[in-house]
Amino acid sequence: MARANGEGTWSVHKQGDYVRQRYRVMIDGKRKSFYGKTKTEALQKYKEFMTDYTPDEVKKTTLTVCDVAYKAIDARKGQIKPTTYEYYTYSVKRLEKDKLGALQIHSVTLSDVQEYINSLADKNALSTIKGQRVILTITFSYAEDNGFIEKNFMSKIKLPNEANIVKEAKDHVFLTTDERKALEKEADRKNTNKLHRGTIGKPFYGVTAKAVVFLLHTGLRMGELIGLLWEDVDMERRFIHIRHNVPTSTGVLTTPKRKSSIRTVPLDDVAYGIIEDLSANKNGKHVFHTESGGMISRNDTDRTLKSMLKRAEIEQTPTLHDLRHTYASELIRNGVDMKTVSVVLGHKDIATTMNIYVHKSDDDLECLKSALE
């Protein structure tokens, strides 16, 4: 018969010539041993342990929502990609800012969680709200599995109606063909007496301007461009193979999050020309690199893009990711079928492509003015 908590047994533990007294006792259903040269020493270690010990049943009643959330994502860490883990961590940190995160999880009700989700509609986009529901679902599922709560009610939590969400999702920015060409022309700017960062007559911008133009001609995600290695370049066939990614959250070279992101992208004349230029000054394994051979910075490239847009007098303010949309829009405008565009962009399915590119740029709408003439 198993002994109850606090009812220990004594035995002698031998290891070679070393002999110790062992006191074994059941604590929260698990057997734990305490050793000493004498029974008094072993018993003293047991008493010291119990002085600071908090029973599991007490722990279960004091754990907060965020306490369990961190336990839940740590339990998944080995089964998910680092980027997913970082996203979950970010979601929990957001939850910590609300009173819900500090509530003891056993006391939280369905209405507490639904009220929190509803409140997010006042200042957040739908994607953020969905992210919070995901992390709460993971948290309460873990809590139920580990006996911290009796029942997980997250399946009953509803998202706010989109009409009640104040913060709209940011619209994609599509540069027109003329704007794209103006931006590419700006990338070729040379230093002058009035405007220079180095030797007069030499390129005004550095490798980050080449990165901007490369995005416009390949549709890569910025993390994919940063992670592009020379081993991924097929100069002879004029292709690049997307096998790596550098997530914003970690800044560490890894594999793409989705299988569909692993793909082959063709190089047009402009993109191939950039690769040729960069190949003449290789320094390390990265195609786009700093002078020391390290990975280029997202922030530096973003600043270069903003500077180029300003000097090119382009009023639209695309992000680095929007350059990918401009690339795809140009492909569609020039007759490339939607399935091929979806594959070259690395979308999970064609529906993603259709949802984004149902929005047309001003260039596409011009043709409607004379459609019925």
**Topology given in CATH for the domain delimited by 62-164:** DNA polymerase; domain 1 (1.10.150)
Can you list the alpha helix ranges (DSSP code H) found in the chain?
A: 39-52, 56-62, 65-76, 82-96, 99-102, 110-119, 126-145, 177-187, 207-218, 222-226, 269-279, 298-311, 320-333, 338-345, 350-357, 362-366
Let me know: does 162 contact 124? Beta carbons within 8 Å: no
DSSP-assigned letters across all residues of 139-168: HHHHHHHTTSSS---GGG--PPPGGG--SP
| Domain positions in the chain | 9-53, 62-164, 177-370
DSSP bridge pairs for 73: none
Structural element, H or E, at residue 241: strand 239-242
CA pair distance 279, 288, nearest whole angstrom = 10
Which 3 state secondary structure label does DSSP give 184?
A: helix
Q: Which two tokens stand for residue 128?
A: 């953020």
- Beta strand pairing status for 30-36 and 18-27? antiparallel
Question: How many other C-beta atoms lie within 10 A of the C-beta of residue 33?
Answer: 16
CA 260 to chain centroid, in Å, comes to 16
- Beta strand pairing status for 9-15 and 263-266? unpaired
Residue the block writes with tokens 């700006």: 186
Question: How many other C-beta atoms lie within 10 A of the C-beta of residue 261?
Answer: 19
Q: Which two tokens stand for residue 251?
A: 């800044």
Per-position pLDDT tens, the chain of length 373: 344 445 789 999 888 888 899 999 888 778 889 999 999 999 999 888 888 776 665 556 689 999 999 999 999 998 988 778 888 999 999 999 999 999 999 999 999 999 999 999 998 888 899 999 999 999 999 999 988 888 899 999 999 998 888 766 677 888 999 999 999 999 999 988 777 677 888 889 999 999 999 999 999 999 999 999 999 999 999 999 999 999 887 788 988 878 889 999 999 999 999 999 999 989 999 999 999 999 999 999 999 999 999 999 999 999 999 999 999 989 988 888 889 999 999 988 888 787 777 555 455 556 555 555 5
Class of domain 177-370: mainly alpha
User: pTM of the full predicted structure?
Assistant: 0.66
DSSP-assigned letters across all residues of 17-29: TEEEEEEEEEETT
CA pair distance 305, 175, nearest whole angstrom = 13
